[in-house]
Amino acid sequence: MIPMVDLKTQYANLKDDIDRGVQEVLESCAFILGPNVKAFEAETAAYLGVKHTIGCASGTDALHLVLRAAGVGEGDEVITSAFTFIATAEAIRYVGAKPVFVDIDPRTFNIGPAAIEAAITAKTKAVMPVHLFGQPADMAGIAALCERHGLLLIEDCAQSFGATIGGKQTGAFGIGAGFSFFPSKNLGAYGDGGLVTTASDEVAAKVKMLRNHGSEVRYYHDAIGYNSRLDEIQAAILRVKLRHIEEFNLGRRRAAHLYSELMADLPVETPHEDGIGVHVYHQYTLLSDRRDALMQALQQEQIACAIYYPVPLHQQNVFKADCAELSLPVTEAVAARCLSLPIYPELGEADIRRIVAVIRAALDG
């Protein structure tokens, strides 16, 4: 069996350090907002090159908290992608704003400046690009557009920890961003976790207050907040993994490049790299008109594969009524043809060759 992601091998490789980190938390009995969260926030701020980072309970919460702290709310429109995980749009709805979905680029699967600009109205307050599958969106273009129109730029970095553009990390381009540490993400915890990044002192202070019951000083409450803290055990685990994130992402890139090289002569569209951003391959996603045949062949050989995402957000039951008139032809075509293959830093060359051989045989047959 080749899984989509192999967390067991990664744990085996890091076991001593992770076990020690967890053990130290257990012995200290400091479980909430203790030294590990503080240290992890400092370490991620340094790694990502941002002024502030604030740990929280999940990536979904990170997006929610940063939108709220940045002042997005009732009656506002937020331009985003429909080709993403539901959490992107959920966070927008949590603050009372409306997600406005625009079409994606057929090669990068990300939204870009032209489509965003065409969707701007008097109600547009923010733009939330998603660096989907680890591929950075066109941040130079999107940031310039936001600047020109006075819009807030908030990045969904759930899939892009460590991805860069011109040496600058995703999560460092706008007023703020949300990262996820869901176990299968490029930097994954052993449970849920998330992180807000922001360049703004004001947004940082607000997120800190909101994640902890609207409180800066214990038992003094300035707002209705949330219980959304990153816990110490997760922070201790993430601190160990953060030290390896560069090698993890390099391993993903190496695996992805071998896949693409081996499939260069096949009638499938392998992931595009735009030459500007550094793709960190949270997913390796190809396009094929014969997706179902490929899936069947892979499953028969005990090779995992998955469709991210089968139904774009504007066609989901929850948003259908709001989006009745909306047609996003590229998003819909990509959702109908996309297939994600196993990818993780430890994925070996022999496995990649075997997976491609199965795909080749299925396409020949």
Q: Which of 55, 99, 136, 194 binds ligand PLP (CB under 6 A)?
A: 194
Q: Which of 2, 48, 56, 158 binds ligand PLP (CB under 6 A)?
A: 158
Shortest Cβ distance from residue 297 to ligand PLP (Å)?
27
Q: Which of 130, 256, 323, 341 binds ligand PLP (CB under 6 A)?
A: 130
Burial string for 62-91 (b: 16+ CB within 10 Å, else e) reads bbbbbbbbbebeeebbbbbbbbbbebbbeb
Q: Which of 55, 59, 129, 171 binds ligand PLP (CB under 6 A)?
A: 59
User: Is 285 a residue that touches ligand PLP (CB under 6 A)?
Assistant: no
Asked if omega into 259 is within 30° of 0 (cis), the reply is: no
* Cβ-closest position to ligand PLP: 59
- The nearer residue to ligand PLP, 91 or 152, going by C-beta atoms, is 91
C-alpha distance from residue 80 to each of 17, 29, 89, 157, 243 (Å)? 39, 41, 8, 13, 32
- The nearer residue to ligand PLP, 137 or 339, going by C-beta atoms, is 137
Stretch that binds ligand PLP, among 47-55, 58-66, 117-125, 246-254 (CB under 6 A): 58-66
CA distance 197 to 56: 11
| Total of residues contacting ligand PLP (CB under 6 A) | 15
Q: Which of 44, 60, 186, 228 binds ligand PLP (CB under 6 A)?
A: 60
CA distance 168 to 48: 8
Catalytic-residue membership of 185: yes
Task: Work out the number of other CB atoms within 10 angstroms of the CB of residue 4.
Answer: 17
Tokens 């002042």 correspond to what residue?
71
Shortest Cβ distance from residue 225 to ligand PLP (Å)?
18
Q: Which residues between 75 and 114 bind ligand PLP (CB under 6 A)?
A: 84-85, 87-88
CA distance 297 to 289: 15
Shortest Cβ distance from residue 86 to ligand PLP (Å)?
8
- The nearer residue to ligand PLP, 129 or 359, going by C-beta atoms, is 129
Q: Which of 192, 234, 239, 342 binds ligand PLP (CB under 6 A)?
A: 192
- The nearer residue to ligand PLP, 141 or 191, going by C-beta atoms, is 191
Shortest Cβ distance from residue 309 to ligand PLP (Å)?
9
Mind giving me the DSSP string for 131-171?
Answer: -GGGPPP-HHHHHHHHHHHT-EEEEE-TT-TT-EETTEETT
Run of H or E residues at 17: helix 7-28
- Looking at residue 91, its amino acid is A
Stretch that binds ligand PLP, among 154-162, 215-223, 265-273, 344-352 (CB under 6 A): 154-162
Run of H or E residues at 156: strand 152-156
CA distance 337 to 156: 24
Task: Work out the number of other CB atoms within 10 angstroms of the CB of residue 148.
Answer: 11
Shortest Cβ distance from residue 119 to ligand PLP (Å)?
19
CA distance 338 to 199: 35
- Over its C-alpha atoms, the chain yields an Rg (Å, rounded) of 20
List the catalytic residue out of 125, 185, 208, 241: 185
Shortest Cβ distance from residue 359 to ligand PLP (Å)?
25
Q: Which of 182, 281, 309, 344 binds ligand PLP (CB under 6 A)?
A: 182
- The nearer residue to ligand PLP, 58 or 110, going by C-beta atoms, is 58
Sheet holding 164-165, edge to edge: 168-169, 164-165, 277-278
Give helix 232-242 / helix 245-262 axis angle, nearest 10°.
Answer: 60
Stretch that binds ligand PLP, among 24-32, 152-160, 168-176, 336-344 (CB under 6 A): 152-160
First-to-final CA distance of the chain: 23
Shortest Cβ distance from residue 181 to ligand PLP (Å)?
7
Chain residues binding ligand PLP by CB under 6 A are: 58-60, 84-85, 87-88, 130, 156, 158-159, 180, 182, 192, 194
Residues labelled catalytic: 185
